[in-house]
Amino acid sequence: MDGGSRRSSSRRKRGKEVESLRKGPWKAEEDEVLLSHVRRHGPCNWSSIRSNGLLQRTGKSCRLRWVNKLRPDLKNGCKFSAEEERVVIELQAEFGNKWARIATYLPGRTDNDVKNFWSSRQKRLARILHVSASSSRPQKNKRKILASCDAPRTVDIKRPVVEELSAKPEQGNSADQGYDPANLMPDFIYAAPLLAIPPTVFNSEILHPNFSIDGNLHKETQPHSSHHDFSNLQSRFPFGQDSQGFPQILDDPEYFNLIGPEAANSSQFSVDNVFLQSPGVGQCNTTNIDIDDATMQGPFLEDLPSCMPDQFEQLPSPSRW
């Protein structure tokens, strides 16, 4: 067929297709026709399905249906596992919103799955931060637990965090479960990139060794030093390149050498200091940090609205986001 005749026949077809094109949810019969086409011709020539009068769907729609729902190797109706969540988070940090590329690392998952997963995660995070900061109404969702509550506060930062991430929440009212600081640290590690906290800030302010150790703030007499440079850390621990992921670095002693000798010498890390409490919030027993204190002023606080530090909430573990 030459270009001219192809164009004119294409115009004729376009006029016809507008009136007979079907949209919306797929019926089982349509799926069967599509599957039959793929069995015969393979997953290609999508447009021929309509041009042959098999379905009143665009080739694009047929392809999408096959890729997202009918492919035999899909994990349909199955929630993302903790491992899958971790992979998505790491790869998103590495590749950005390249969902199709990320999906190639997740057998049985489509770009749409990854995209939906990420999108709902982002919405949740945005809501947690924005709503709690702006709304005076009490939170309706029990699944969100304020970090500022009475509970034991010290967590062993060196314990394997992978178990914690894959641990399922106990059944029942979260208020009864209390606040489990052991789950908080790894969650915050993942929350940091999602909250757009710059890595250097995350490292120097969140994992700052002087925030730590015994639950009290050890004030520094010197500005935060270069040994907190996250780029150094990242080059040493190129998380995202394998399935082990970022959490594994917490089990590597070299990590603590990089973030600081104090932390390296301690097996304890106080989560109080991760969630900085502004003065006056004091209905809880977290460590209050003086925002006016020069040693506490850094990009972490500057990058956030002034009301933000007392608005942090514990994020549920990734499998609960």
Judged by beta carbon, residue 23 or residue 222, the one nearer DNA is 23
Site track 266-295 with DNA (rule: CB under 7 A), x = hit: ------------------------------
| Binding flag, residue 236, DNA (CB under 7 A) | no
Q: Given the complex with DNA, which of 48 and 243 has the nearer CB atom?
A: 48
How many angstroms from the chain centroid is the CA of residue 83?
12
Q: Distance (Å, rounded) from C-alpha 82 to C-alpha 86?
A: 6
Q: Which of 142, 168, 171, 221 binds DNA (CB under 7 A)?
A: 142
Return the HEC string of the chain: CCHHHHHHHHHHHHHHHHHHCCCCCCCHHHHHHHHHHHHHHCCCCHHHHHHCCCCCCCHHHHHHHHHHHHCCCCCCCCCCCHHHHHHHHHHHHHHCCCHHHHHCCCCCCCHHHHHHHHHHHHHHHHHHHHHHHHCCCCCCCCCCEECCCCCCCEEECCCCHHHHHHCCCCCCCHHHHCCCHHHHHHHHHHHHHHCCCCHHHHHHHHCCHHHCCCCCCCCCCCCCCHHHCHHHHHHHCCCCCCCCCHHHHHHCHHHHHHHCHHHHCCCEEEHHHCCCECCCCCCCCCCECCCCCHHHCCHHHHCCCCCHHHHCEECCCHHHC
Rounded Cα distance between 223 and 195, Å, is 24
- Is 16 a residue that touches DNA (CB under 7 A)? no
Three-point CA angle 179, 283, 292, nearest 5°: 105
CB of 94 to DNA, least distance (A): 13
Nearer to DNA, 16 or 127 (CB): 127
In angstroms, give the least distance from the CB of 277 to DNA.
Answer: 24
Report if residue 218 touches DNA, rule: CB under 7 A: no
Min CB(18)–DNA separation in Å: 11
Question: Which of 16, 143, 219, 236: binder of DNA (CB under 7 A)?
Answer: 143
CB 261 within 8 A of CB 212: no
Residue 176 tokens, joined = 């009864």
CB of 280 to DNA, least distance (A): 26
| Cβ distance to DNA smaller for residue 177 or 225 | 177
Q: Of the ranges 45-53, 178-186, 199-207, 220-228, which one interacts with DNA (CB under 7 A)?
A: 45-53
* Contact pick of 140, 176, 226, 283 for DNA (by CB under 7 A): 140
Q: Which is nearer to DNA, 145 or 233 (CB)?
A: 145
Q: How far is the CB of 282 from DNA (least distance, A)?
A: 24
Site string for DNA, 89-128 (x = CB under 7 A): --------xxxxx---------xxx-xxx-xx--xx--x-
Please state, in angstroms and rounded to a whole number, the distance separating the CA atoms of residues 84 and 191. 16
| Interacting span for DNA (CB under 7 A) from 55-63, 152-160, 229-237, 298-306 | 55-63
Q: Does 168 bind DNA (CB under 7 A)?
A: no
Which of 24, 53, 253, 280 lies at the binding interface for DNA (CB under 7 A)? 24
Q: Is residue 46 involved in binding DNA (CB under 7 A)?
A: yes
Which residues of the chain form contacts with DNA (CB under 7 A)?
Answer: 1-3, 6-7, 10-11, 14, 23-26, 44-48, 51, 59-61, 63-65, 68-69, 76-77, 79, 97-101, 111-113, 115-117, 119-120, 123-124, 127, 131, 140-143
